[in-house]
């Protein structure tokens, strides 16, 4: 029998083996129970390093990719962070341990509602979930120190680049298709935008407008 503590320890060791070395990120992931963000039948698989369905045709991302993106974002306690693509709320919960304030937007109202309830039940009081097309960012709360997209755009959306503070960092998957995408880190400097490629990833697409299949 593997105890819950052993499962969690194995999970963190796996993250380390995937290149996540930032102690604060590892701690935040250890403190965030991924099974709580999954439906019953998927809970037993919560600590496997795979994406899993969360309803509305969407997925919770693979833990190693969540870790790499979070690490690349270099979040500190002073940061106000915007996430686009709340999904289950798992990534937002991790960010809430690292940041001062987290705003997260989701175009599926049902997912947004569920994530909001989960995060409230977990006392993640510095997170606000907003049902909204996040392509245009969140002008009323901008500028942001950090912006994270968890859905793939063809290019970094201009409104989001505008809402990033000077010195700010944005991490996002970009790609022309569902199969070939690159994880991009964008740093806003006084001289302009600095781009770094962090490897291949596979995310659901960033879609414009609210999803129409829910009330
Ligand atoms: N971060 C999530 C997983 C992301 S899945 C988690 O931790 O569970 C990507 C999510 O982005 C999906 O839920 C999808 O509905 C959402 N999405 C896609 N386009 C969007 C947009 N324009 N605005 C807001 N959310 C969007």
Q: What is the pLDDT of residues 191-204, one digit of tens each?
A: 999 999 999 999 99
Confidence of residue 213 (pLDDT cuts 50, 70, 90): low
Strand 127-131 to strand 144-149: parallel, antiparallel, or no bridges (unpaired)? Answer: unpaired
In sequence order, the 6+-apart residues with CB closer than 8 A to the CB of 204 are 57, 58, 59, 85, 151, 152, 178
pTM above 0.85, yes or no: yes
Give catalytic residue positions.
Answer: 61
Residue 206 in contact with ligand 1 by CB distance below 6 A:
yes
Determine the pLDDT at residue 54. 97
Helices 23-30 and 63-73 sit at what angle, rounded to 10 degrees?
Answer: 140
| Closest approach atom of ligand 1 to CA 61 | 3
Helix axis angle, 23-30 to 4-17, nearest 10°: 150
CA-to-CA distance for 145 and 212, rounded, in angstroms? 31
Tell me if 90 CB under 6 Å of ligand 1: yes
Query: Going by CA atoms, what residue is nearest to atom 24 of ligand 1?
Result: 106
Answer whether 61 contacts ligand 1 (Cβ < 6 A): yes
- Confidence at residue 215, expressed as pLDDT on a 0 to 100 scale: 43
CA dist 72 and 147 (Å) reads 11
CA distances from 179 to 135, 176, 195, 196, 208 (A): 21, 9, 21, 20, 19
Provide the CATH number for the domain formed by 4-201 in this structure.
Answer: 3.40.50.150
Distance 3 CA to ligand 1 centre (A): 32
Q: Tell me the pLDDT tens digit for each residue of 108-125.
A: 999 999 999 999 999 999
């Amino acid at each position: 029998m593997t105890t819950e503590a052993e499962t969690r320890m194995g999970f963190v060791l796996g993250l380390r083996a995937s290149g996540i070395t930032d102690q604060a990120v590892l701690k935040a992931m250890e403190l965030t129970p991924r099974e709580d963000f999954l439906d019953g039948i998927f809970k037993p698989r919560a600590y496997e390093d795979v994406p899993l369905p969360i309803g509305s045709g969407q997925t919770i991302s693979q833990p190693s990719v969540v870790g790499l993106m979070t690490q690349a974002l270099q979040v500190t306690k002073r940061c106000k962070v915007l996430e686009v693509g709340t999904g289950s709320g798992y990534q937002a919960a991790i960010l809430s341990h690292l940041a001062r304030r987290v705003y997260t937007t989701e175009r599926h109202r049902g997912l947004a509602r569920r994530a909001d309830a989960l995060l409230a039940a977990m006392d993640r009081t510095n997170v606000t979930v907003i049902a909204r097309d996040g392509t245009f960012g969140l002008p009323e709360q901008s500028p942001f120190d950090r912006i994270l997209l968890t859905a793939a755009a063809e290019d970094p959306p201009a409104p989001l680049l505008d809402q990033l503070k000077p010195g700010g960092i944005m991490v996002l998957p970009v790609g022309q298709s569902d199969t070939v995408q690159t994880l991009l880190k964008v740093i806003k400097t006084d001289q302009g935008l600095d781009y770094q490629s962090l490897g291949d990833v596979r995310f659901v697409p960033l879609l414009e407008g609210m999803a129409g299949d829910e009330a």
